Amino acid sequence: MLLSLKGAFPPAILALADGTVFQGNSIGATGATTGEVVFNTSMSGYQEILTDPSYCQQIVTLTYPHIGNYGVNTEDIEADKIHAAGLIIKDLPLVASNFRKTATLNEYLVAGKTVAIANIDTRKLTRHLRTHGAQNGCILGLAEGEAVTQALIDKAVAAAKAAPSMSGLDLAKVVSVRQTYEWNQTEWKLGAGYGVQITPRFHVVAFDFGVKKNILRMIAQRGARITVVPAQTPAADVLKLKPDGIFLANGPGDPEPCDYAIAAVKELIETGIPTFGICLGHQIMALASGARTFKMKFGHHGANHPVKDLDNGRVSITSQNHGFAVDEKSLPSNLRPTHISLFDNTLQGLARTDKPAFCFQGHPEASPGPHDIGYLFDRFTALMEKK
């Protein structure tokens, strides 16, 4: 019996900006893609990861060796398209099987025009990134019948070297929605699918910096109707919507150049409207409060990250996806650390001491990942209730 699809796909090249080259098979679209190569340690959830807008201009390596075994479906999406710039995996299993499956991973990547490489040593690549830090790379997916040549390898290395650095890139305004829209979809349940919030108690205005759908679903589930607004919406326009709460979404790129969002959030927090930020939203809340952010060596991407709640000592296993972090040494006196990563002690959560505003660096909405830290959504609801 054929144990893998090796040989069934044309060749592909992965080149890193430092000249390191891997050869494997092209399991997605034909052509070239570039981006920052990062590794994610989740064991499942590849469809949620591919569609997470925070992966814009990043090529994701999945460290779990078998990816694609349950195919894809029409529900497990975090945005309406694939946002990751490319995918790197070890083994694409021959059979994809799941009762919700509508297509295979390979079909999904081709339809989504996403370049992807399989059959490379992802352990070696991950160790390389861990030692030398995240760096830019290029995947070249060759056409049927095409062979790897030195000229193609040189071309891939040159493309990796020429790709823009993630530091200084404002990608939130690139992926953000252009038009305001209303959201009322709630969480997914086996047998019922997604629900609808028909009796909202709160109105939340959510800044879309690259929002994951499951965040909106978890807020709606807790009794909110949501107005999602473009990243560059000024504070005055948000106030006109008379929100009970303000949500700052996750998103791709460097938070520091998002000056429009930092200015709006600074103004909005001052009004005393309860505000909650996740990931890029956390970083923007920190910047708006006077703290600084920095680029991490290889970031946190996975679904197995232990985070400690400093208020009660409780440890949660969390979902993570970030390459920047808030500098603990830069915190002003009105910004209190609430959570830290037990992997590297970096800041994971913050709360304003003078306003009802708090934020989290990881992903309480999971998708994919454990639900341990979902209590942060309840904390947001409690602040709106109190108000």
Ligand X SMILES: NC(=O)CC[C@H](N)C(=O)O
Distance between start and end Cα atoms, the chain = 64
Is 78 labeled as catalytic in the residue annotation? no
In this structure, the number of other CB atoms found within 10 A of the CB of residue 7 comes to 8
Quote the CA–CA distance of 220 and 201 in Å, as a whole number: 10
Tokens of 335: 């910004």
Which position among 54, 61, 63, 197 is part of the footprint of ligand X (CB under 6 A)? 54
Residue with smallest beta-carbon separation from ligand X: 279
Concatenated DSSP letters for 40-69?
E--SS-HHHHHH-GGGBTEEEEE-SSB--T
Residue of 300, 301, 305, 363 with catalytic role? 363
Piece in contact with ligand X (CB under 6 A), picked from 126-134, 142-150, 233-241, 322-330: 322-330
Q: Is 322 in the site for ligand X (CB under 6 A)?
A: yes
* Residue closer to ligand X, measured from CB, 274 or 323: 323
Which position among 105, 280, 326, 383 is part of the footprint of ligand X (CB under 6 A)? 280
Quote the CA–CA distance of 94 and 65 in Å, as a whole number: 13
* Residue closer to ligand X, measured from CB, 108 or 324: 324
Task: Tell me whether residue 272 is annotated as binding.
Answer: no
Which position among 86, 243, 252, 302 is part of the footprint of ligand X (CB under 6 A)? 252
Q: Is 28 in the site for ligand X (CB under 6 A)?
A: no
CA dihedral 272, 276, 279, 283 (to 10 degrees): 10
Identify the CA nearest to 222 among candidates 242, 243, 199.
199
**Beta-strand runs (E) in the chain:** 11-16, 21-26, 31-40, 58-62, 86-88, 116-118, 135-141, 181-183, 185-189, 193-196, 202-208, 224-230, 245-248, 275-278, 293-309, 315-326, 335-341, 347-352, 357-360
Piece in contact with ligand X (CB under 6 A), picked from 97-105, 221-229, 244-252, 346-354: 244-252
Task: Tell me whether residue 54 is annotated as binding.
Answer: yes
Is 365 labeled as catalytic in the residue annotation? yes
Q: Are 27 and 92 in contact (CB under 8 A)?
A: yes
* Least distance between ligand X and beta carbon 330 (Å): 16
Q: Is 324 in the site for ligand X (CB under 6 A)?
A: yes
Q: Is 253 in the site for ligand X (CB under 6 A)?
A: yes
* Least distance between ligand X and beta carbon 68 (Å): 23
* Least distance between ligand X and beta carbon 239 (Å): 24
Q: Is 323 in the site for ligand X (CB under 6 A)?
A: yes
Contacts of 39 (CB under 8 A, 6+ apart): 60, 61, 62, 63, 122, 125, 126, 129, 130, 298, 301
Q: Is 250 in the site for ligand X (CB under 6 A)?
A: yes
* Least distance between ligand X and beta carbon 263 (Å): 19
Residues of the binding site for L-glutamine: 54, 251, 253, 280, 283, 321, 323-324
Q: Residues in the site for ligand X, rule: CB under 6 A?
A: 54, 250-253, 279-280, 321-324
Task: State the catalytic residues.
Answer: 279, 363, 365
For the annotated binding site, the residues are 54, 251, 253, 280, 283, 321, 323-324
